[in-house]
Amino acid sequence: MFLAKVIGKTWSDHKHYSYDGIDIKIIRDVNPETGELINKPIFALDAIGTAIGEIVAYEVSSEAGKAFEDKKVLADATITAIIDSVDIVKGDGK
């Protein structure tokens, strides 16, 4: 599972039938310690209905397609959670 920010949304008149009813968002990884956007943006299927600007968790690889219980979906990345906060314990945890 990875941390990212939703930075955009796509629109498509023609797409694979398994994507019917699924939004495709543009996300970019977030450094959890600094909040800084890192790496290049990627496309991710949205399994939960996110908005631009939200911090999310996403799955990649074969796990990405499993987020859609009721159908088989071709996916390399899928948004699976909206993250409300991130708490990191630094050093020895004290």
CATH number at residue 6: 2.40.50.220
**What pLDDT, on a 0 to 100 scale, did the predictor assign at position 93?**
61
Q: Is residue 75 part of a domain?
A: yes
d(Cα 70, Cα 2) in Å, to the nearest integer?
A: 24
Q: What is the pLDDT of residue 58?
A: 97
Domain count for the chain, please give it. 1
Q: Is residue 88 part of a domain?
A: no
Strands 42-46 and 77-82: parallel
Secondary structure (DSSP) of 35-50? --B-S--EEEEESS--
Predicted confidence band of residue 94 (pLDDT cuts 50, 70, 90): low
What domain range includes position 32?
2-82
80, amino acid identity: T
- 34 has pLDDT over 80: yes
Rounded distance between C-alpha atoms, residue 31 and residue 54, angstroms: 14
Q: Is residue 30 part of a domain?
A: yes
pLDDT at residue 74 in the model: 85
- This prediction's pTM: 0.89
In a domain, 53, yes or no: yes
